[in-house]
Amino acid sequence: MRVLFTALAITVLSSLPFTTYALEIKSAHVVIEDGSEFNKCYLRKESLLASVESALRSNSIKPSNDLINPVFYVRVNVLDINSEFCAVSMRLSVRSYQYVEAKLAEIERKTVFAKVELFEQDGIFFLKKMNVQYQLNNELRQLVDESISGIARMK
């Protein structure tokens, strides 16, 4: 069973009106945050990282170990339910740190450096332990593809 929640948000300091500058993604940094029960549900952080990097490459984006923009950030929380099933929540966010033009007053504009959330999506999954890694890898690849398509439409 799968439940997805989708949101697109751009945060600039204290939610000021803004204009972002064009962002073309040529390379990206990937961060995987894993939970304490990964081993109980037969998950490997390296496999999730490889799935994201593979999806990036198939979209002509070079994975990078440098802390450059944007960052594909994956947070995975796992709950070992019983000997057969795991519950998994997963969030993919794509973040960029860039200069934006903020409208501070009716006539005043200022360029500021801000965190921009380009894409964010959550998923909750109830999976058989024997399939958890395979299914999450597929979901991650699909989310990365969706995020890149969504970002491309923002231009």
Q: Which residue has the higher pLDDT, 117 or 11?
A: 117
Phi, psi of 150 (to 5 degrees): -65, -40
Which sequence spans correspond to the domains of the chain? 2-154
pLDDT at 54 over 50: yes
Which ranges constitute the DSSP H helices of 19-131? 45-58
Both tokens of residue 62?
A: 């070079």
Give the pLDDT band (50/70/90) at residue 50. very high
Segment 20-34 shows an average pLDDT of 75
Question: What percent of the chain is predicted at pLDDT more than 70?
Answer: 81
Asked whether residue 53 carries a pLDDT value surpassing 90, the answer given is yes
Token pair for 79:
């709950």
Mean pLDDT of 54-60: 92
8 pLDDT tier (thresholds 50, 70, 90): very low
pTM over 0.85: no
The CATH number, out of the four listed (2.60.120, 3.30.1390, 3.40.50, 1.10.10), of the domain defined by the range 2-154: 3.40.50
Taking the CA atoms of residue 143, residue 148, residue 154 and residue 155 in that order, the dihedral angle to the nearest 10 degrees is: 180
Confidence band, pLDDT 50/70/90 cuts, at residue 150? confident
